[in-house]
Amino acid sequence: MKVRATAAKVMFQVVEQGYSLSAALPAAQQLIPAKDRALLQEICYGTLRWLNRLEFIAEQLIERPLKGKHRSLHYLLLVGLYQLFYTRIPPHAALAETVNATKIMNGDSFRGMINGVLRNAQRQQAELLQAADKNETTRFSYPRWLLKKIKQSCQYGYVSVLQAGNAYPPMWLRVNLSRQSREDYQQQLAALGINSTPHASCASALLLEKACDVNELPGFAEGACSVQDAAAQHAAWLLEPQANELILDACAAPGGKTAHILEHQPALKQLIAVDFDETRLQRVAENLQRIKLNATLIHGDASQPEQWWQGPQFDRILLDAPCSATGVIRRHPDIKWLRRAEDIAELARLQSSILDAMWLQLKPGGTLLYATCSILSDENSTQIKAFLERTTDAIHVPLNEQDTALQPGWQIYPGEQHMDGFFYAKLTKQVTA
Ligand X SMILES: C[S@@+](CC[C@H](N)C(=O)[O-])C[C@H]1O[C@@H](n2cnc3c(N)ncnc32)[C@H](O)[C@@H]1O
Closest CA to 3 of 25, 23, 22: 25
Q: How far is the CB of 215 from ligand X (least distance, A)?
A: 21
Q: How far is the CB of 420 from ligand X (least distance, A)?
A: 11
- In the bound state with ligand X, the residue whose beta carbon lies nearer, of 244 and 307, is 307
- Residue 209 to residue 171: CA distance in whole angstroms: 8
Q: Is 302 in the site for ligand X (CB under 6 A)?
A: yes
Q: Is 135 in the site for ligand X (CB under 6 A)?
A: no
- Residue 358 to residue 50: CA distance in whole angstroms: 39
Q: Is 253 in the site for ligand X (CB under 6 A)?
A: yes
342, exposed or middle or buried, with CB in 10 Å at 0-12, 13-18, 19+?
A: exposed
Per CB under 6 A, the list member of 229, 263, 320, 403 interacting with ligand X is 320
Tell me the β-bridge partners of 172: 207
- Which residue among the candidates 44, 202, 225, 373 is catalytic per the annotation? 373
Q: Is 252 in the site for ligand X (CB under 6 A)?
A: yes
Q: How far is the CB of 373 from ligand X (least distance, A)?
A: 6
Q: Is 366 in the site for ligand X (CB under 6 A)?
A: no
User: Binding mask 210-239 vs ligand X (x if CB under 6 A, - otherwise)?
Assistant: ----------------------x-------
Q: How far is the CB of 375 from ligand X (least distance, A)?
A: 14
Q: Is 280 in the site for ligand X (CB under 6 A)?
A: yes
Q: Which stretch binds ligand X (CB under 6 A): 13-21, 207-215, 251-259, 261-269?
A: 251-259
Q: Which stretch binds ligand X (CB under 6 A): 120-128, 203-211, 301-309, 328-336?
A: 301-309
Are the C-beta atoms of 335 and 328 separated by less than 8 Å?
yes
Q: How far is the CB of 10 from ligand X (least distance, A)?
A: 23
Q: Is 301 in the site for ligand X (CB under 6 A)?
A: yes
Q: Is 169 in the site for ligand X (CB under 6 A)?
A: no
Q: How far is the CB of 371 from ligand X (least distance, A)?
A: 8
Per CB under 6 A, the list member of 172, 276, 387, 422 interacting with ligand X is 276
Q: Is 172 in the site for ligand X (CB under 6 A)?
A: no
- In the bound state with ligand X, the residue whose beta carbon lies nearer, of 89 and 357, is 357
Q: Is 429 in the site for ligand X (CB under 6 A)?
A: no
Tell me the β-bridge partners of 296: 272
Q: Which amino acid is at 38?
A: A
Regarding beta strands 246-250 and 270-275, do their DSSP bridges make them parallel or antiparallel, or are they unpaired?
Answer: parallel
Per CB under 6 A, the list member of 124, 135, 282, 303 interacting with ligand X is 303
Taking phi over 0 as left and psi of -120 to 50 as alpha, with beta for the rest, 366 belongs to beta
- Residue 95 to residue 315: CA distance in whole angstroms: 61
Question: Chain centroid to CA 425: how far?
Answer: 19
- In the bound state with ligand X, the residue whose beta carbon lies nearer, of 12 and 370, is 370
Q: Which stretch binds ligand X (CB under 6 A): 206-214, 253-261, 335-343, 388-396?
A: 253-261
Q: Is 322 in the site for ligand X (CB under 6 A)?
A: yes
Q: Which residues contact 73 (CB under 8 A, 6 or more apart)?
A: 8, 66, 102, 105, 107, 110, 114
Are the C-beta atoms of 6 and 32 separated by less than 8 Å?
yes
- In the bound state with ligand X, the residue whose beta carbon lies nearer, of 165 and 256, is 256
Tell me the β-bridge partners of 370: 319, 425
Cα dihedral: 293, 298, 302, 308 (round 10): -140
Q: Is 111 in the site for ligand X (CB under 6 A)?
A: no
Query: Is 44 one of the catalytic residues?
Result: no
Regarding beta strands 296-299 and 270-275, do their DSSP bridges make them parallel or antiparallel, or are they unpaired?
Answer: parallel
Are the C-beta atoms of 200 and 184 separated by less than 8 Å?
no
Mapped onto helix, strand or coil, the DSSP state of residue 414 is: coil
Question: Chain centroid to CA 326: how far?
Answer: 7
- In the bound state with ligand X, the residue whose beta carbon lies nearer, of 207 and 302, is 302
H helix runs in 156-225, sequence order: 158-165, 182-191
Q: Which stretch binds ligand X (CB under 6 A): 42-50, 289-297, 300-308, 401-409?
A: 300-308
Q: What angle do CA 89, 334, 19 make, to 5 degrees?
A: 110
Size of the site for ligand X (CB under 6 A): 19
Q: Which residues contact 432 (CB under 8 A, 6 or more apart)?
A: 364, 393
- In the bound state with ligand X, the residue whose beta carbon lies nearer, of 232 and 369, is 232
Q: Is 257 in the site for ligand X (CB under 6 A)?
A: yes
Which residue's Cβ has the minimum distance to ligand X?
A: 251
| Catalytic residue list | 373
Binding positions for ligand X, rule: CB under 6 A: 232, 251-257, 274-277, 280, 301-303, 320, 322, 354
